[in-house]
Structure 1
């Protein structure tokens, strides 16, 4: 039924202007739609990331968006850190420079200004 249909990530934010600045200026995403005060859409690869205003922004305690960035993970983490992004560190996991490695798999987590959790990996 849905296997051939495109999907998009959708993330709740409290302050759309602040979110637009973060997603465009920090993450480097291009805004492609949403000139109103409630919704904005950003291009990310061949998909899109939609942000919308909600009082429930940041309440999800799991990954909201995942990017498979391949071998660029180290460089992306450094570039995001230079833009002020703080990387999460979770109990029971070893981290080096914000990246957790396990069996060749690298992972890093950070939050947007509303506390939504984003995940980078080298896949």
Structure 2
């Protein structure tokens, strides 16, 4: 089955037009395609991300999308300049300082999109981003 599939991340939006503005203004992305019911698909790190309208938007209290970067500090500064606020966490085994946590071989930060979806931004510290891509590519066969 897996050799004939393509995975897509899916994020709900209670206001699709507001969500589209977020993806354009914060990430500088335009949809690579739109569907007949109004969903918009963006390409993030080679992964399609479908944003669609739903009354259940923002109800997931866990990370909905993870993005890996080669420079967390640079990207956090860029996102902050665009109005993104990072979430400070104080959970058992996970505490952030200035929005950043050191977690199992990576530095990570979390923020909400305009629809309440939680997005993580992480930089591997035990490998470079290129090495992480290479491992993923090798795992794909």
TM-score range, shorter chain: 0.7 to 0.9
Paired residues, number: 122
- Structure with the bigger RCO (C-alpha within 8 Å, sep 6+) is 1
Choose 1 or 2 for highest CA Rg. 2
Native 8 Å contact 2:8 2:47 kept in 1: yes
Moved over 6 A (4+): none
- RMSD (CA atoms): 1.9
- Unmatched tracts of structure 1, length 5 or more: none
Report how far residue 87 of structure 1 moved: 0.4
TM-score (norm: length of structure 2): 0.78
Greater helix share, structure number: 2
Residues 3 and 107 from structure 1, CA distance in 2 versus in 1: closer, same or farther, beyond 3 angstroms?
farther
TM-score (norm: length of structure 1): 0.88
Between the aligned partners of 1:8 and 1:84, the Cα distance in structure 2 is 27
Report how far residue 4 of structure 1 moved: 6.0
Report how far residue 65 of structure 1 moved: 0.4
- Unmatched tracts of structure 2, length 5 or more: 125-141
Native 8 Å contact 1:31 1:41 kept in 2: yes
Whether 1:80 aligns to 2:79 is yes
Greater strand share, structure number: 1
Residues 36 and 25 from structure 1, CA distance in 2 versus in 1: closer, same or farther, beyond 3 angstroms?
farther
